[in-house]
Structure 1
Amino acid sequence: MQVNWSTGGGQLTTTATTAPVHNNTARYVLILGGLSAFAPLSIDMYLPALPAMTTDLHSNPSTLQLTLAGFIVGLAIGQLVLGPLSDALGRRRPLLAGLAVYAVASALCAFAPTAELLVAARVLQAMGAAAGIVVARATVRDLYSGVAMTRFFSMLMLVNGLAPILAPALGGQILTLTSWRGVFLVLTGFGVLLLAVCALALPEPLPPEARRPARLVPTLRTYRGLLADRRFLGYALASGLLFGAIFAYIAGSPFALQEVYGLSPQQYSVVFGVNSLGLVLLGQLNGRIVGRLAGERTLLRTGLLLATAGGAGVVVTAAAGAPMLGVLVPLFVVISSIGMVMPNASSLALAEHGHHAGAASALLGVLQFVVGGLAAPLVGLAGGGSAVPMGAVMAAFAVAALVAFATLTRSGPAAEKTA
């Protein structure tokens, strides 16, 4: 059944042949949340196995951390291509093609004989995953506007937060039954399942009259215009630089917490899940108070300040040789802050770009994951044997995110009502 959608003041309407979308909010949260969960699932599920993979593939931690960086590169390339394509072809066709690529690439990861081939397969896997990420965010912009969009992004944090909670724990349990290769076989199954669900249950949210031709020069011009928009760039950099802090944690915490503080893979999974629970809770709190007690900019600023304080706390406690709990508390603060930063930054960045939401979503995602990907190897280059390098990179990226927000978004009509 063909569905035509329109938006108005954050309210969803459809043709008379369908039920209103707001009656199916839970279904859309689950499907779009599942699509945007590709990154945390694909990254976090195999984290507990990184030390074992180093031995199994006769490699070293720096090379294995390239599986994270390679994934980020693939996400960047995939989003830049698939975002404008989804503006031209509609959201469904690029999405379904990307999900098929993801499933095949995940199987290739499972059978990779060397670390180098695993890195290559991860790049391909990420290019498929990019379709889910960019289409999910663009679809939210197709359907919602204003505070309603921010609240829906906050609801997505419930699913996005559950993914990193469940992924390392699931990965740790899979490792008790099989090797790291089994983790990638599970990801293959996830890709196949979501491909079937989207093919059957996700209608096209972008009507033909709202689509834009996919031509190279206009697409490049669109990207140039987005980069020239100071407010868009400020919100995108704020979220992207904070992603740098998060990826420093993702890359460094398996080694810092398991090798420095002696956690087992299963114990590490529990700690990772507790941190992600903070992300979920703060995201849901954000959705409840935005537009009521505070506006998007105020909440975004608050989240960035929490991340900065938490990153500094990791450095201080780790350098002082504090017990593990002293490091875990500020880590919890940093990871929780993402639940407040991401919904507000995404909503504010996309607010004025509904007519090319796919391209704007792509560039927003690229800035997040590319900047975030730079942080992963920095942790390894800084050396091991302590949580200080991880904390220093996290703190530096959090401070940079706060500076980008403060300098690039402080004025203009997009500044929201509650400053």
Structure 2
Amino acid sequence: MSSRQLTRTIPGWLLLMGALTALGPLAIDMYLPSFPAIVEGLGATQGEVERTLASYLLGMGVAQIIYGPLADRYGRKKPLMAGLTIFTIASVACAFSNDIEHLTLWRIVQALGGAAGIVVPRAVVRDNLDTRDAAKALSLLLLIMGVMPILGPILGGQMLFIAGWRGIFGIMAAVGVLLLVMTLRNMQESLPPEKVVPLRIGTIARNYWGLLRDREFICYALAGGIGGAGIFTYISGSPRVLINIYGVEPQYFGFLFGLCAAALIFSSQLSARLLDRHPPDRLLKVAQVSVVVVTLIGLALTLAGWLTLPLLILCLMGFMASQGFVNPNAAALALSRQGHRLGVASALMGAVQLLSGTLAGVSISHWQSDTALPLTGILAACMVLSWLFGHLARRAAAAGK
């Protein structure tokens, strides 16, 4: 399939990969409006409930290290089906949790299953496409993923009033079952037999060690991963800032959240079209410089006490728009030379992003303030670091290292 065809027509296998990748955002975004209800229902603190999100990110980060070798040994389909089964069972358990400790535990288990929906689709994309088309395909996946930050909080906010926060986890379980059936019936194995990697500790260790020593790969992975940590900072911190500080009603929170997600959707599709004329490393460079400027402006407005709700939303929309360029292009560049170990490369890249997101999520849950400073401060720090690693990755690529 040519690059222009991919822009105009999305093949069925890529739609399925997008739906599977959207599983993670669904498990994150849909329950955000229910934070105050969970606090009240389980007698927990706001920070404890926010840490259920950080625990989910931690579980996903660790699990991806496991799914990578499994996907390179047993193919893409079997590990994915196992992960969807775990996700569904854990979602049901979350719905029946009676204290914050059990909810946190089952969120970790839920993440152990949901991680398959991150590792496998990226590997499938690179099984089928070269670097430029992979960047376009990953941009198209962001279009599908971007629907969840719009629909997730809106659906979660309405479900909160219909069935309470437990009903939200029931919806997650139903989606897990649906995706499991679709994968079983429609997914074709994409790993060629000649590329199967034996499941040996020594082989796995060598592959991961080789990736860690690959400066170009690890710097691009960190550029995208720390950029992604900014998204998790926004996801984790925005309910407190918008609902508790700026007084946005929970049922309207989803609409503001969706406005920022719309910026992500638009920019990801613009990135896909611009790839017909510009290489992914150039788009990544421009986007990273732009987002550093936007987030530093947001931080300066916060410190000056001038950050109104409209200005905050504008800064967040600018931040999310930049991620439509940063995430797919950094991922495609990181995987461009890893065809012989795509599973572990995709896993390590995802783990870097999720572990970075966990650190950012824990930081913002512990940084209590009656202003938006924790949100804007951590966002600015993440974006400066993302730019720095992107710069180092381009230097490594130019040096051929």
Q: If the TM-score is normalised by the length of the shorter chain, which range does it land in?
A: over 0.9
Name the residue aligned to 1:116: 101
User: 1:323 aligned to 297, 302, 308, which one?
Assistant: 308
Counterpart for residue 283 of structure 2: 299
Residue identity in the other structure for 1:295: P
Match of 1:40 among 10, 21, 25: 25
Q: Tell me, in whole angstroms, the C-alpha distance in 2 between the residues paired with 1:280 and 1:414.
A: 34
- Asked whether the equivalents of residues 71 and 343 of structure 2 are also in contact (C-alpha less than 8 Å), the reply is yes
Deviation at 1:65? Answer: 1.4
1:168-247 residue pairs with structure 2 within 5 A? 168-247=153-232
Q: Quick one: structure 1 residues 22 and 414, their matched pair in 2 at CA, closer, same or farther if it must change by over 3 Å? A: farther
Match of 1:250 in 2: 235
Deviation at 1:234, TM superposition (A): 0.8
Amino acid at match of 1:242: G
Equivalent residue letter for 2:221: A
Q: Deviations over 1:261-295 (max 9, x none)?
A: 11011211000001000000000000001141x21
Give the alignment partner of residue 374 of structure 2, picking from 386, 389, 397: 389
Distance 1:414 1:48 in 2: 47
Q: Residue 95 of structure 1 aligns to which amino acid in structure 2?
A: L
Contact 2:7 2:273 in 1 (8 A): no
Task: Name the TM-score, length of structure 1 as normaliser.
Answer: 0.91
- Give the aligned length: 398
Task: Give the share of equivalent positions with the same residue, in percent.
Answer: 37
Name whichever of 24-33 and 95-104 sits farther off: 24-33
**Contact 1:242 / 1:372 at 8 angstroms: preserved in 2?**
no
Identify which of 317, 320, 324 aligns with 1:332: 317
The equivalent of 1:266 in structure 2 is 251
Separation (CA, whole Å) in 1 of partners of 2:189 and 2:11: 17
Q: Distance in 1 between matches of 2:50 and 2:399?
A: 38
Counterpart CA distance in 1 for 2:190 and 2:398 is 28
Give the Cα–Cα distance (whole angstroms) in 2 for the partners of residues 289 and 321 of structure 1.
35
Amino acid corresponding to residue 42 of structure 1 in structure 2: A
Q: Equivalents in 2 of 1:313, 1:299: separation in Å?
A: 22
Counterpart check, 1:95 vs 2:95? no
Task: Give the whole-Å Cα distance in 1 for the aligned partners of 2:287 and 2:36.
Answer: 32
Which consecutive unaligned segments of at least 5 residues does structure 1 have?
Answer: 1-9, 13-20
The worse-fitting range, judged by mean Cα deviation, of 90-99 and 207-216 is 207-216
Preserved contact between residue 139 and residue 269 of structure 2 (Cα < 8 Å): yes
Please say if residues 256 and 384 of structure 1, whose CA atoms lie closer than 8 Å, have aligned partners that are also in contact: no
CA distance in 2, matches of 1:268, 1:22: 32
CA distance in 1: counterparts of 2:219 and 2:398, whole angstroms: 14
2:349 maps to a residue whose letter is L
Q: For residue 22 of structure 1, report the CA deviation from its aligned partner.
A: 11
CA contact (8 A) 1:51 1:255 kept: no
CA drift at 1:337: 1.2
Aligned CA distance change for structure 1 residues 24 and 393 (closer, same or farther; 3 Å): closer
Distance in 2 separating the partners of 1:291 and 1:22:
9
Partner secondary structure for residue 397 of structure 2: coil
TM-superposition CA deviations, 1:24-71 (whole Å, max 9, x none): 843123210011112211111000111221111111111111111111
Q: Which residue of 1 aligns with 2:292?
A: 308
Distance in 2 between residues matched to 1:209 and 1:411, nearest whole Å:
30
Residues 40-189 of structure 1: matches in 2 within 5 Å? 40-189=25-174
Measure the CA separation in 1 of the matches of 2:40 and 2:296: 33
AA of the residue aligned to 1:170 = L
**AA partner of residue 167 (structure 1):** G
Cα 1:349–1:248 change in 2 (3 A) is same
The answer on whether the counterparts of 1:256 and 1:386 sit within 8 Å (CA) in structure 2 is yes
Tell me how far apart the structure 1 counterparts of residues 389 and 7 of structure 2 sit (CA, whole Å): 35
Contact 2:51 2:365 survives alignment (8 Å): no
Q: One-letter code of the match for 1:399?
A: V
Sort the Cα spacing of 1:100 and 1:23 in 2 relative to 1 into closer, same or farther, 3 A: farther
Question: How far apart in 2 are the matches of 1:22 and 1:368?
Answer: 26
Q: Which amino acid aligns with 2:215?
A: R
| Cα distance in 2 between the residues matched to 1:71 and 1:256 | 21
**Cα distance in 2, alignment partners of residues 26 and 414 from structure 1:** 37
Letter in 1 for 2:345: A
Q: In structure 1, what is the Cα distance between the partners aligned to 2:293 and 2:182?
A: 41
Q: Deviations over 1:375-413 (max 9, x none)?
A: 012112221211111100010011011011112332436
Q: TM-score, normalised by structure 2?
A: 0.96
RMSD after superposition? 1.9
Q: Secondary structure at the match of 2:247?
A: coil
Which ranges of 4 or more aligned residues in structure 1 deviate by more than 4 Å? Answer: 21-24
Q: Where does structure 2 lack aligned partners over 5 or more consecutive residues?
A: none
* 1:309-338 Cα distance to aligned partner (Å, 9 max, x none): 222122222332332101111111111211
Would you say the 8 A contact 1:348–1:414 is kept in 2?
Answer: no
Taking the aligned partners of 1:281 and 1:191, their CA distance within structure 2 comes to 27
Of 232-241 and 310-319, more deviation after overlay is shown by 310-319
Taking structure 1 as reference, are residues 22 and 272 closer, same or farther at Cα in structure 2, changes over 3 Å only? closer
- Partners of 1:190 and 1:279 in 2: how far apart? 23
Q: Which structure features the higher share of helix residues?
A: 2
Pair 1:272–1:22, CA change in 2 (3 A):
closer
Q: Which amino acid aligns with 2:200?
A: R
Conserved? CA contact 1:313–1:327, under 8 Å: no
- d(CA) in 1 for partners of 2:8, 2:186: 14
Pick from 30, 41, 45 the counterpart of residue 15 of structure 2. 30
Counterpart secondary structure, 2:344: helix
**CA distance 1:411–1:377, shift in 2 (3 Å):** closer
User: In the alignment, is the contact (CA less than 8 A) between 2:227 and 2:327 conserved in 1?
Assistant: no
SS at match of 1:179: helix
